Amino acid sequence: MRNRMQDLDFEQTVAFDSVKDFEFTRKAAQKFRQIVSLDSFEDEDADVIFHYLYKEMELVSFGDYLKRYVYERAELEEPFSQVPQEVYKDIVVDSFKETYTPKSMSPTSAKLSSLVNNWLTQASVKRETVFLLGFGLRMSTEDVSDFLTRVLREQDFDFHNPEEVIYWYCYQNHLGYYKAEEYREIYKNLTPVEKKTGEIVYGTGLCLDSEEKLLEYLAYLKGRCDDPKSEKSQAFQEFMILLERAKKIIAAMYQEDEEENGGKKIWKPENINASDLEKVICSGIPINKMGNLKKMSASILAKHFSQKRFSRQRINNILNHKFPVERFDLITLEFFVISQEMEDDDPYTRYRHFLDEIQGILARCGMGEIYIVNPYECFILMCLLTDCPLAVFSEIWEKSYEEGEEKN
Q: Say whether pLDDT at 350 is over 90.
A: yes
C-beta separation of 287 from 401 below 8 A: no
- Backbone phi and psi for residue 10, each to the nearest 5 degrees, phi listed first: 90, -85
Interhelix angle 85-98/62-73, rounded to 10 degrees, is 70
Q: Which own/partner pairs from 17-22 qualify as long-range (CB within 8 Å, at least 24 positions apart)?
A: 20/80, 21/79, 21/80, 21/81, 22/67, 22/68, 22/71, 22/72, 22/80
C-beta separation of 104 from 113 below 8 A: no
Which residues lie across from 287 on neighbouring strands?
A: 293
What's residue 97's pLDDT?
A: 97
DSSP string, 56-98: I-----HHHHHHHHHHHHTT--S-GGGS-HHHHHHHHHHHHHH
Does residue 377 lie within any of the structural domains?
A: yes
What is the 3-class SS of 104-164, one letter each residue? CCCCCCCCHHHHHHHHCCCCCCCHHHHHHHHHHCCCCHHHHHHHHHHHCCCCCCCCCCHHH
Does residue 89 lie within any of the structural domains?
A: no
Does residue 329 lie within any of the structural domains?
A: yes
CA of residue 107 relative to chain centroid, distance: 29
For residue 340, give its domain range: 231-407
Mean pLDDT confidence for 359-384: 92
In tens, the pLDDT along 279-333 reads 999 999 999 999 899 999 999 999 888 878 999 999 999 998 888 889 999 999 9
Does residue 328 lie within any of the structural domains?
A: yes
Does residue 258 lie within any of the structural domains?
A: yes
In tens, the pLDDT along 31-79 reads 999 999 998 998 899 999 999 999 999 889 999 999 999 999 999 999 9
Q: Say whether pLDDT at 201 is over 60.
A: no
* Helix, coil or strand: residue 284: coil
DSSP letter (8 states) at residue 270: G
What's residue 358's pLDDT?
A: 96
DSSP letter (8 states) at residue 227: -
Closest CA to 324 of 220, 205, 222, 235: 235
* Helix, coil or strand: residue 368: coil
CA distance 198 to 202: 12
C-beta separation of 193 from 222 below 8 A: yes
Please tell me the least confidently modeled range out of 6-20, 143-157, 378-392: 6-20
Does residue 91 lie within any of the structural domains?
A: no
Average pLDDT, the chain: 88
In tens, the pLDDT along 178-199 reads 999 999 999 999 998 876 544 4
- Per the structure, the count of domains in the chain is 1
What's residue 21's pLDDT?
A: 65
Residue 351 corresponds to which amino acid? Answer: Y
Share of residues in the chain with pLDDT > 90 (%): 66
What's residue 168's pLDDT?
A: 96
Q: Say whether pLDDT at 226 is over 70.
A: no
Which residues lie across from 293 on neighbouring strands?
A: 287
Does residue 33 lie within any of the structural domains?
A: no
In tens, the pLDDT along 152-172 reads 888 889 888 899 999 999 999
Q: Say whether pLDDT at 204 is over 50.
A: no
Does residue 34 lie within any of the structural domains?
A: no
